[in-house]
Amino acid sequence: MRPLTMEAVLRPTPLAGEHEDWLHRLNANLMETDWSAPLRPIADKLAINAPLNLADGLVLFNHPDLHEVGAMANAVREARFGRQAFFNSNVHINQTNICVLACRFCAFRRGPKAGDAYAMSVEEYMEDLSKYAHAIDEVHSVGGLHPEWGVEHYENLFRRVSNEHPHISIKALTAVEIKHLGQRSSISTFEVLQRLSRAGLTSLPGGGAEILDDDVRAVICNGKESSDEYIQIHREAHKAGLPSNCTMLFGTIESLEQRVQHMISLRTLNNETRGFQCFVPYPFLPDDTRLPQAQLATGTEVLRTIAVSRLMLNNIPHIKAYRMNIGDHLAELGLQYGADDIDGTVQKESIMHLAGSTAPLNHDRAKLARLINDAGCTPVQRNTTYTAFEPYTPPPVQERRSLPMATL
């Protein structure tokens, strides 16, 4: 591809730990490879930070050489962040599995009369959090739509967390939970967000996007917020000063076109708000759920979707290989296919594991760092909002002693 003049470059704003000159680095990286004919026009767009369109996204999803798509995504990732890969020290506490909805893909939800239904009181939540508070700086909390909890419940909870553990950032509540709290408390979703922010909420995890197509949503999560409502609630969150992640659940009944359009919808909002910090694509896990027509993503499809995400989302800085969903091995490979983040230590988690995840929950910082090192990357610990970074060097692994061979 041809070198670009300074005048041709669409200058991006450095975001969340990126190299300030990442676009110039990317131009150099892309020129090192003789891309195949279908990918050359895409490389030219990437080199000037021009957004890819629906047709480009479909080319990437259908391109026969997965490794070439991955190499292009990795070129973008390395231009933005070098060999850095990010993680944090966090715990997931799912506060209730009682939910007024019954989404077909969800293995976590229970009705209030189910034998294993639970709803943690504020005291129970605080007691659980105290077990991990010394080792974390983020608590991630999402759960069901409890029929009796309004915004006051979460104001009380977040104030307790903020007062007793001021070093812990609260990343909590999906868009549909925000909508539900507004309905329960008879206030707007924007007022819910403002009140929770004042109580200590730091950011939104961005879950529940599923696929932003209402025909798909009518089948897999009928009754949840609409696609437009998901976008609007995150627009309001960003306006209220709450940054967020954004997500995509793939491998249910959606088409490739719907996946690409989902990414474009998120990118369009972020052109307006600049509030999305990380995109988290994760495949549908089928165990114990009620969606027999699901397509189920293969490992190569997971890697391709991570790579396409990196190439489509030029204004969302981070792409996460979410190990809680895809497991350590695929997450490690994902760092070579465009992802730059693997989430955190987690410690405990219910939603993904009830759906079939087998990802280990006992990772400490050293184990995560070794996973990152094994992928050829440099581990960097971050905070929740990608505003503080610290390189992390794991303690040396004790050498194994060689045992003498037995002789016969």
- pLDDT per position as a tens digit, 182-203: 999 999 999 999 999 999 999 9
Q: What are the DSSP calls for 46-90, one per residue? A: HHTTPPP-HHHHHHHHH-S-HHHHHHHHHHHHHHHHTTEEEEE-E
Listed as ranges, residues in the chain with pLDDT below 50 are: 1-11, 349-357, 359-361
φ, ψ for residue 403 (rounded to 5)?
Answer: -95, 145
Give a yes or no: residue 305 inside a domain.
yes
φ, ψ for residue 211 (rounded to 5)?
Answer: -120, 130
Q: CA-CA distance, 6 to 24, in Å (whole number)?
A: 9
Query: Could you tell me if 107 and 41 lie in one domain?
Result: no
| The pLDDT of residue 290 | 66
Query: Could you tell me if 101 and 185 lie in one domain?
Result: yes
Q: For residue 265, give both structure tokens.
A: 């919808």
Query: Could you tell me if 44 and 97 lie in one domain?
Result: no
φ, ψ for residue 343 (rounded to 5)?
Answer: 75, -140
Query: Could you tell me if 333 and 351 lie in one domain?
Result: yes
Instruction: Compute CA distances 129 → 134, 165, 207, 311, 364, whole Å.
Output: 10, 9, 21, 37, 16
| This prediction's pTM | 0.90
Q: CA-CA distance, 346 to 33, in Å (whole number)?
A: 38
Q: CA-CA distance, 134 to 173, in Å (whole number)?
A: 23
Return left, alpha or beta for 200; rule: phi > 0 is left, psi -120 to 50 is alpha, else beta. Answer: left
| The pLDDT of residue 355 | 41
What CATH number did the domain enclosing 136 receive? 3.20.20.70
Give a yes or no: residue 399 inside a domain.
no
Query: Could you tell me if 77 and 201 lie in one domain?
Result: no
Query: Could you tell me if 176 and 325 lie in one domain?
Result: yes
Residue 320: name the closest of 384, 255, 235 by CA: 384
Give a yes or no: residue 244 inside a domain.
yes
Last residue of a domain, one of 27, 48, 83: 83
Give me the numbers of helices (H) and strands (E) for the chain, helices first please. Answer: 15, 11
Query: Could you tell me if 77 and 128 lie in one domain?
Result: no
Torsion of CA 71, 316, 346, 362, to 10 degrees: 10
Query: Could you tell me if 43 and 113 lie in one domain?
Result: no
The CB density around residue 288, as the number of other CB atoms within 10 Å, is: 11
Q: CA-CA distance, 182 to 177, in Å (whole number)?
A: 9
Q: How far apart are the first and last CA of the chain?
A: 64
Give a yes or no: residue 228 inside a domain.
yes
User: 403: which residues sit within 8 A by CB, 6+ positions away?
Assistant: none
Residue 235: name the closest of 208, 206, 275 by CA: 275
Contact 175, 225 (CB under 8 A): yes
Query: Could you tell me if 280 and 377 lie in one domain?
Result: yes
Domain count, the chain: 2
| The pLDDT of residue 46 | 97
Q: CA-CA distance, 119 to 114, in Å (whole number)?
A: 12
Give a yes or no: residue 315 inside a domain.
yes
Buried/exposed code over 144-158 (b: 16+ C-beta within 10 A; e: otherwise): bbbeebbbebbbebb
Query: Could you tell me if 41 and 163 lie in one domain?
Result: no
Give a yes or no: residue 1 inside a domain.
no
Last residue of a domain, one of 83, 110, 145: 83
| The pLDDT of residue 296 | 78
Query: Could you tell me if 196 and 167 lie in one domain?
Result: yes
Half-sphere exposure of 52 (CA within 13 A, CB side): 27
Residue 114: name the closest of 92, 95, 96 by CA: 96
User: 210: which residues sit within 8 A by CB, 6+ positions away?
Assistant: 105, 216, 217, 220, 221, 224, 248, 249, 252
Residue 197: name the closest of 248, 257, 238, 139 by CA: 238
Last residue of a domain, one of 25, 56, 83: 83
Write down the residue that tokens 């790579």 correspond to. Answer: 307
| Segment holding 305, helix H or strand E | helix 299-312
Q: For residue 391, give both structure tokens.
A: 């390189």
| The pLDDT of residue 245 | 97
| The pLDDT of residue 178 | 97
In terms of residue numbers, what domain contains 94?
85-390
Give a yes or no: residue 400 inside a domain.
no
User: 118: which residues sit within 8 A by CB, 6+ positions away?
Assistant: 96, 97, 98, 110
Residue 141: name the closest of 56, 54, 207, 59 by CA: 207
Query: Could you tell me if 58 and 165 lie in one domain?
Result: no
Q: What are the DSSP calls for 152-166, one per residue? A: HHHHHHHHHHHHH-T
Give a yes or no: residue 398 inside a domain.
no
